[in-house]
Every structure is written in structure tokens, then in C-alpha cells.
């Protein structure tokens, strides 16, 4: 399965999440590179925070500037998979990377005995209006100091709180084919922090 085919449905699931979007956080980079889109310093300035869970198996968070649909916004999607067996431990750095089975077109799938269960995607669809205005985490870590239980009906405030920091390298995997994966011209270091309480409610925008 190709990169875009695999990640597209996951981000659409998140768009249907139930939340009022309130929280706090930041996402910054000294040099963000997205081909034909952005090269230079970057500060997202997010003010919308959303979450959704799927069958107790995965949680997706969306950290975004504005509450418009993803296709017309700038933001970051954080995807947590394999929660039944690999829920991120609180207070410990967890490796991030590409989702299992996702690769650029033409690149063979390489077996990883310990694949990352958390992946991130940063998109600039509002700023760039570009067809390929998205880059993906290829390395780095995320640390949760609190993590929502994933229960849409959770009534405990402590279990509705999510707080995390991340420090990750992002790139378009298609540009790395045959290139040095550490090439500073093709990769971007992005750091971020977010904190919000999950509150079930109607989405701020009619995402469907």
C-alpha cells in the first residue's frame, strides 16, 4: 500500500472526531522544507485540538490552526496505533516513524522487528495550496505526560487529559528515494507541545 493511500483514510477518520477544539500548544521548526510549498522558519500557532478513537485500537489527534477541514488548513496529525499491546507509557519517550506497511511508490517494504506505533503528519494545505503539502515523521520521539483513555464517554477528567511533547524529523519519503535520509536539505526537525481535555460534542465544522 502506498503512502498516500494508507494515510489518507486515517486522517479522514480524525476529521470526524468529537471535540470542542479547545486546548493549548505550539509546533515550530527553524527550517521546515516541503517541496514547492515551504522553505524556512515555521510556527504553526495552533488553536484547534481534536481527538478520536477507533475500537480501542487507535487514537488520532489533530493539532491545527483554525477549525476548518484538513484540506483547507495547516496542522499536525498524531496517530497512535496498536493501543491494546503498545499503549505509550506515561513519561517515557516513544519512537515515532512511518506507519507499518507504508512506503513511497516503488520502494520495497523492509521488515522492521520493532516498528514505531506512533506516526505524525504535518500539512500546510492552507498556507501552500499545494497538491503535496504534507510531510511525515521518519524519526524522532514523542513523550506523553498524560493520555486520554480513548473512551468517547469518559467521565474522569484525568483520563480525558492529553499532554505531550514531540521532537521529530519530517520528510516526504518520495524525495528520499536513493538519497541520504539524513540530508538536511530534504528533512526538517519539528518540535511541538499540546495539552487539551477531550470533550465529546458536535464538531466545530460539518466535516462529513
Nearest to 52 by CA among 154, 156, 168, 166: 154
Domain ranges of the chain: 3-197
Whole-number Å distance between alpha carbons of 148 and 24: 15
pLDDT at residue 106, rounded to an integer = 58
Dist CA 51 CA 49 (whole Å): 7
pLDDT tens per residue across all 208 residues of the chain: 444 444 444 444 444 444 457 899 999 999 999 999 999 999 999 999 999 998 889 999 999 999 999 989 999 999 999 998 999 999 999 999 987 666 655 566 666 677 899 999 999 999 987 667 999 999 999 999 999 999 998 999 999 999 999 999 999 988 888 778 788 899 999 999 999 999 876 544 433 3
Q: How many angstroms separate the CA atoms of 66 and 21, rounded? A: 9
pLDDT at residue 14, as a whole number: 40
Per residue in 10-29, pLDDT (tens digit) is 444 444 444 457 899 999 99
Per-residue cell: 65: 490552526
Q: Is the dihedral of CA 108, 114, 115, 119 positive or negative?
A: negative
Cell of 147: 493520555
- Closest CA relative to residue 173, chosen from 79, 123, 98: 98
- Spatial separation of the C-alpha atoms in residues 143 and 162, rounded to whole Å: 11
Cell numbers 484538513 correspond to 70
The secondary structure of residue 125, as a DSSP letter, is: H
Residue 17 is predicted with a pLDDT of 45
**pTM of the model as a whole:** 0.84
Q: What is the pLDDT of residue 12?
A: 40
Whose cell is 483513555? That residue is 149
- Report the distance separating Cα 43 and Cα 185, nearest Å: 19
Torsion angle (degrees, nearest 10) of CA 18, 21, 27, 33: 60
Amino acid at each position: 500500500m502506498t503512502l498516500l493511500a494508507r494515510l489518507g483514510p486515517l486522517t479522514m477518520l480524525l476529521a470526524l472526531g468529537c471535540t470542542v477544539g479547545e486546548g493549548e500548544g505550539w509546533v515550530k521548526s527553524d527550517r521546515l522544507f516541503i517541496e514547492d510549498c515551504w522553505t524556512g522558519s515555521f510556527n504553526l500557532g495552533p488553536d484547534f485540538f481534536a481527538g478520536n478513537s477507533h475500537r480501542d485500537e487507535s487514537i488520532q489527534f489533530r493539532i491545527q490552526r483554525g477549525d476548518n477541514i484538513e484540506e483547507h488548513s495547516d496542522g499536525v496529525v498524531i496517530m497512535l496505533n496498536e493501543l491494546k499491546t503498545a499503549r505509550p507509557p506515561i513519561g517515557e519517550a516513544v519512537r515515532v516513524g512511518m506507519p507499518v506497511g507504508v512506503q513511497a511508490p516503488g520502494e520495497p517494504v523492509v521488515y522492521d522487528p520493532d516498528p514505531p506505533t506512533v506516526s505524525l503528519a504535518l500539512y500546510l494545505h492552507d498556507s501552500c495550496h499545494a497538491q503535496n503539502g504534507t510531510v511525515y515523521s521518519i524519526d524522532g520521539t514523542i513523550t506523553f505526560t498524560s493520555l486520554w483513555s480513548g473512551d468517547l464517554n469518559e467521565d474522569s477528567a484525568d483520563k480525558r487529559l492529553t499532554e505531550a511533547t514531540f521532537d521529530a524529523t519530517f520528510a516526504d519519503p518520495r524525495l528520499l528515494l536513493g538519497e541520504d535520509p539524513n540530508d538536511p536539505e530534504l528533512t526538517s526537525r519539528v518540535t511541538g507541545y499540546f495539552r487539551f481535555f477531550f470533550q465529546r460534542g458536535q464538531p466545530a465544522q460539518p466535516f462529513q
